[in-house]
Amino acid sequence: MHIVSAVAALALALPTAAGPPGPEPRQVPPGTTARPILSAGEAAAFVPENHLGFSGTYTDPVADPWRPPPIRTPHRPDLVVGPHGFADVQDAVDAAYRDGGTARRWIAVRPGTYTGTVFIPAGTPPLTVYGTGRARDVRLEFTIDATVTPAQWAALVNPDGRYAEGDPAWPMYQSCATKTSATAGLCATVVWAQSTDLQLKNLTITNTLLDTVDRGTHQALALRTDADRTQLEGLRLISRQDTLLANADDTRIARVSVRDTYVEGDTDFVFGRAAAVFTGCTFRLVSSRKSSGGVIFAPSTHPGYPYGFLVTRSRIVADEGYVAAPTGRLGRAWDQGASATGYLPGITPNGQLVIRDSHLGAGFDILAPWAPAATTARPFSAPIEPGRSLSDVHHNRLWEYANHGPSAG
């Protein structure tokens, strides 16, 4: 049985939950080849229970339901960052790693600004890192641009021996410091997590490169997650290009649940290969660095796997610059790794995304909300014929259902 059919069959056995109705949608299936709309029957497959319902490999997924409850915080944390505690978050993460065990550890971060990177290595016990004040008052910040060389990256990230041989995060640091590529690439992130069952809550994470550079390509990640069962709640993630990377390797499924989180940027600022569900989030496209053609989502889903990004009951908005000249795009596929070959159907990642039951504010291109693919510039195309396949590798997999608001069409 084909992998898509196999996963679909498994998905039928998973329970699903219907949410309360939203405003009356104006979107009519099947839409157009430039703006495809799902029918109710087609949309029924794209629910959190399915996107988060499988683990294992893309070629042999197994049913593994994961519906994380809201993140709870204890009256008394295990570790504290701030006055009378650790000086920075990295020190607390290192301490939790060294404590070992399999029980969850809680790190409370008191209000303040903490400058520097935070690397959370694989093998860290289940960890909850949370701010004790308002999210905007607990700030993790650093300025780093992916255009720097690996040597420059190492000097920026580790000027005072923050990472040293024998430290838990040393292998992560070394993997970037010793790269042979011309630039630091996706190592240019403020917080980088490789640990399973990580929870982050009530924090602002900002790559403060922001508008200090031109409108060209300047990847500047705020948060990168690489592992399965990552839970993000009540965060503020701020940068310009590539703010949030929900990452996974090219063989194994990694799941990410994002709730009640604000994400800001101007280019591909929610991207990656993970199976991720965004619920009750706000995505804001800004024009302060780049005044036209901004893009929000850029999934790079495995071509044989049916579940990439799901955005539900969220708000997608733009600032005044885009409202005045509506050229914003909801997203594009990221044809990851295909710069030399071009898009190869069934081999190159084919980003999968459904935006449903969400508010689309003004500022976006109503007739063509999906841009050509990143890396290859593959033109957007979608099937609209009866009985269409939603996993046709010869077309894009970027869809909408029951959205509302000025840019809903």
| Residue-wise DSSP of 146-208 | TTS-HHHHHHHH-TT-SS-TTSTTHHHHHHHHT--SSS-GGG-EEEEE--TTEEEES-EEEET
Helix (H, G, I), strand (E, B) or coil at 97: helix
Task: Read off the tokens for 61.
Answer: 């997924």
Known catalytic residues? Answer: 268
- Helix %, strand %, coil % of the chain (to 5): 15, 30, 55
Type of residue numbered 196: T
Give the distance from CA 87 to its chain's centroid: 28
Q: What does each C-alpha distance from 328 to 286, 308, 399 come to in angstroms?
A: 9, 22, 16
For strands 262-265 and 329-331, give the pairing: unpaired
Q: In 3D, which of 258, 244, 347, 262 has the Cα closest to residue 299? A: 244
Helix (H, G, I), strand (E, B) or coil at 21: coil
Contact 370, 396 (CB under 8 A): yes
Give the distance from CA 223 to its chain's centroid: 8
CA distance 153 to 150: 5
Q: In 3D, which of 128, 295, 111, 76 has the Cα closest to residue 204? A: 111
Neighbours of 377 (CB within 10 A): 12
| Residue-wise DSSP of 266-324 | SEEEEEESSEEEEES-EEEE--SS--S--EEEEE---TT-S--EEEES-EEEE-HHHHH
Q: What is the DSSP letter of 24?
A: P
Contact 360, 403 (CB under 8 A): yes
